[in-house]
Structure 1
């Protein structure tokens, strides 16, 4: 199959590259620890050459597109946020391009920003969401949950991102583990994951995280929670409160799907079950599908016509 596009998911700590053929089929994939934090500001062309140079030398006129933090102020070039509700068409209209150092250019997808009801921004997740909609068009009026350091809950309408909310769940867990007394309770004990469910249910039945966090310490001191279960319990509290808050804010309508690391998605799926939400699929390949869709919308590649089959 002839290659049609070089697609890059270029984040803070990692860089993933996909060589895409007709209709976005992945022909080859590569990954390097060449995120924007590992690349000096004058070294992005060298990083591009390291991961995609062989493809460009073989197919010099192959278009290239990237999404993620590469378009931030700390990246190769800043791609201004697209404002408010947007889908593939709006992202394609707002692409910027930079010389890629090999005689070609790299097109960069902008992030997405919301002004109401509060300020929100994302970079990279918008492309994954567009990819998820490409893979599963039935989500056009549904919801997507992208768990991680900064979890995103996105509300979709007519195949566009209508609203989203960010929860700093992963970062809060890291901060509490590394810089609070709650992180010292478990010590070197292997984790007792039974604490996770207990934490989720405590958050589900509570009315806010601030009044619940100290219970991780109090229960260990009162011997109602094993020390080995303290960090899983803390994780459950944080994830459970994220879900409780999202649902209380009205993000409970429509189909829900997950995008993200398989183990983390499984953890969230377990937590969601305590809220009566089951059958939550995890969508794979969203980033590359989104990059293909935006590239097609921008005219960088022409999609293959759909072949009709005879009955």
Structure 2
């Protein structure tokens, strides 16, 4: 039997996931609820949501520490936890933990990248996934880590610390365009994945991206109006176009910062990582490592760095 040592919380804007984490890093149990940080208001609501997903574990084993990452620590969350500045690793993140009120919960800070040359960039939640990826795969101590998602991150990890990074609002753009723009009017609400259409979008971005994303986006409509793509293929064409532009910019960013020879890792939900793998291969770049959710491993590593474990 593996002994539980930590209750870890991955608390995003729209979802809440709790993990009972063992001493060896394994997830012994998991609870989830649609109680994201952006859906809750006021201290009592957050307390109730935490009790819903982790209350039984806490009552069974009161000494277990609680550690949360994600948007729960944002200005729209339970408690705004100040960002630590990049470069930052487990030590800096552990030093920035904060507690909301008199609760036993500690919240991980995000990371701010602000060199004064470009607009600042932010991450909150992804830093814990990166710490987890490093804990599981030390060879990523010097690497380029891509975290696909609503706000995809391209991160330079140097000597085990998060250095510069760049955010792409790819997932959010897809959702907004799919649901609230003229492009979505031709798309049926439910579709079967069409990877040929997806790769056609990636190809358009790869080969003709100099035309500009605003121009190429209109092709999602024109290809549908002229029946060159069937309605059910349009969502995947849009996805491929957006991800293709992200990869075009991200791979150029990687090369421009001298990271071309470093390992390239994908960290995130398996279906989305598979899509990015396919798009990367289509652009002539393979991912060296693909990892699923590494937040529990990151939370355990940060708990150790903060000396929360008995």
State the shift of 1:189 in Å.
7.9
Q: Which residue of 2 aligns with 1:177?
A: 178
Greater mean deviation of Cα atoms: 23-32 or 282-291: 23-32
Contact 1:45/1:100 (8 A) holds in 2: no
In the TM superposition, what whole-angstrom CA distance separates every residue of 1:44-76 from its partner, at most 9, and x where no partner exists?
112222221222222222211111111112222
Relative to structure 1, is the Cα distance of residues 93 and 202 closer, same or farther in structure 2, using a 3 angstrom cutoff?
same
What residue is the counterpart of 1:270 in the other structure?
A: 278
Inter-partner Cα distance in structure 2 for 1:111 and 1:100: 22
Q: Is the 8 A contact 1:16 1:31 kept in 2?
A: yes
The CA deviation string for residues 80-102 of structure 1, in whole angstroms up to 9 with x for no partner, is 0111210111100111123465x
- Report 1:173-252 matches (<5 A): 173-187=174-188, 190-191=191-192, 192-205=194-207, 206-207=209-210, 208-250=212-254
Q: What residue is the counterpart of 1:87 in the other structure?
A: 89
Unmatched runs of 5 consecutive residues or more in structure 1: 303-311
- How many residue pairs end up in the alignment? 299
Higher helix share: 2
User: Could you say what secondary structure the match of 1:250 adopts?
Assistant: helix
Residue of structure 2 equivalent to 1:309: none
Alpha-carbon distance in structure 1 between the residues aligned to 2:130 and 2:277: 18
C-alpha contact 2:187 2:231 (8 A) present in aligned 1: yes
Distance 1:285 1:213, change over 3 A: closer
Shift of 1:235: 1.1
Distance in 2, matches of 1:14 and 1:223, equals 38
CA distance in 2, matches of 1:190, 1:67: 33
Structure-1-length-normalised TM-score:
0.90
Q: Who is 1:291 aligned against? A: 299
Task: Name the CA shift for 1:141/1:33 in 2 (closer, same or farther; >3 Å).
Answer: same
Residues 98 and 263 of structure 1, relative CA distance in 2, 3 Å threshold: same
Contact kept in structure 1, 2:113 and 2:163, CA below 8 Å: no
Find the counterpart in structure 1 of residue 129 from structure 2: 128
Shift of 1:223: 4.2
Q: Which residue of 1 aligns with 2:109?
A: 110
Partners in 2 of 1:194 and 1:247 — Cα distance?
Answer: 22
Distance 1:27 1:250 in 2: 37
For 1:134 and 1:258, how far apart are their aligned partners in 2?
A: 15
Cα deviation digits, residues 104-148 of structure 1 (max 9, x gap): x11110011111332111111100111011111111111111111
Which of 49, 52, 63 is the matching residue for 2:51?
49
Query: Residues 100, 32 of structure 1: CA spacing in aligned structure 2 closer, same or farther, 3 A cutoff?
Result: farther
Q: Which moved more, 1:259-268 or 1:190-199?
A: 190-199
Larger Rg: 1
Segment drifting more, 214-223 vs 273-282:
214-223
Task: Give the equivalent residue in structure 2 for 1:148.
Answer: 149
Residue number in structure 2 paired with 1:35: 36
Q: Secondary structure at the match of 1:211?
A: helix
Q: Are the structure 2 counterparts of residues 284 and 100 from structure 1 closer, same or farther at C-alpha, using a change threshold of 3 Å?
A: farther
| In structure 2, distance between residues paired with 1:269 and 1:245 | 16
Show CA shifts across 1:31-54 (max 9, x none).
Answer: 122211333312111222222122
- Structure 2 distance, partners of 1:242, 1:100, is 43
Q: Deviations over 1:264-294 (max 9, x none)?
A: 1111111111111124432124100000001
Q: Is the 8 A contact 1:99 1:106 kept in 2?
A: no
Residue 67 of structure 2 contacts residue 303 of structure 2 at CA under 8 Å; is this kept in 1? yes
